[in-house]
Amino acid sequence: MRHLAFLGRRLVGTVPVLLGISVIVFFMIHLVPGDPARTLLGNRATDEAVAALHARFGLDQPLWQQYLSFLGRLLHGDLGRSILYDTDVSELVGLRLPATLWLLVAATVLALLISIPLAVLAATHRGRAADQVVRAVPLLGLGMPTFWVGIMLVLLLALKVHAFPVSGFGKTPVQHLSSIVLPGLTIALAMTPILIRSLRTSMIGVLDSDYVVTARAKGLSHRRVILAHTLRNASVSSITVLGVNIAYLVGSTLVVERVFALPGLGTMMLDAIFNRDFPVVQGVTLVFALMVVAVNLLTDLAHAALDPRIELA
């Protein structure tokens, strides 16, 4: 019951956040030089054609009136109509959202699969060679640009080894899974150094606690002590770190999707920015904001589920 009450309060608190984001995005995108009508029609378009396109999409109105019109449509679930594609933005988002969600899920799963074993290895071999290697090597990935890591993975695992597709998203679930591994790994490599460091530090603190010493004194196996007692309690603080990184990496999907030619929201947003497609930029930004809010909400709920002592406020 307390989870439902917390969820309701957080959803209500999301409304002013989204309203503030809509104001900032709307007026900032209109500061970008260039006329969307002129960009779409070309430099040789007549003034009459440009004026007609302005009137069609309401671009001839004052900015405050355009924003009020946008806000009114938004309250009815209408994100507007794309200037570039001449299609409802909601429909475009529905077509592109699955690829972005696949990417975020794949990145999270791969980051956990890499980080958890390495953090356990480092924490249980504190101060030894394994600990030093685990702490040092992942930092190389943290210092490398995401687009460069993606290109290197394509050269190594796609062009040389032919283990994964070079780009695209495929049409079947199996093709989706195969196509999303390299983009997901690219993002995961940027997350793992922070996750490993956080989980290792937490595990070292838990390993020195009294209840772990007691569990060992009772004769529990090393594996059970690590999985049932140490890892569960150490993961409470790391869940927050994971959630913050996922929320931050929602925006970084723009670069990764462009490198791997994924038909996601990031690619569509970049195309919209270059073509001054204001409705698409506004709509996708709001969707990204909702995704960040959802990630933060799930992080809080997971935090409370792992540690019942935490009060949801």
pLDDT in tens, 63-81: 778 888 888 888 787 788 8
Q: What local confidence, expressed as pLDDT, does residue 245 receive?
A: 77
Can you give the pTM of this predicted structure?
A: 0.81
For the cut 60, the answer to whether the pLDDT of residue 179 exceeds it is yes
Please report, as a single letter, which amino acid is at residue 187. I
Query: In the chain, what are the domains?
Result: 1-79 (no CATH), 96-306 (1.10.3720.10)
What is the C-alpha to C-alpha distance for residues 45 and 60, in angstroms, rounded to an integer? 17
Average pLDDT over residues 209-234: 72
* DSSP assigned state of 88: B
* Strand, coil or helix: 244: helix
Q: Which run of H or E residues covers position 289?
A: helix 278-306
pLDDT band at 141 (very low <50, low <70, confident <90, very high): low
DSSP secondary-structure letter at 59?
T
User: How open is the CA angle 124-126-132, to the nearest 5 degrees?
Assistant: 115
State yes or no: pLDDT of 6 exceeds 70: no
The top-scoring range by mean pLDDT among 29-38, 92-101, 159-168, 190-199 is: 92-101
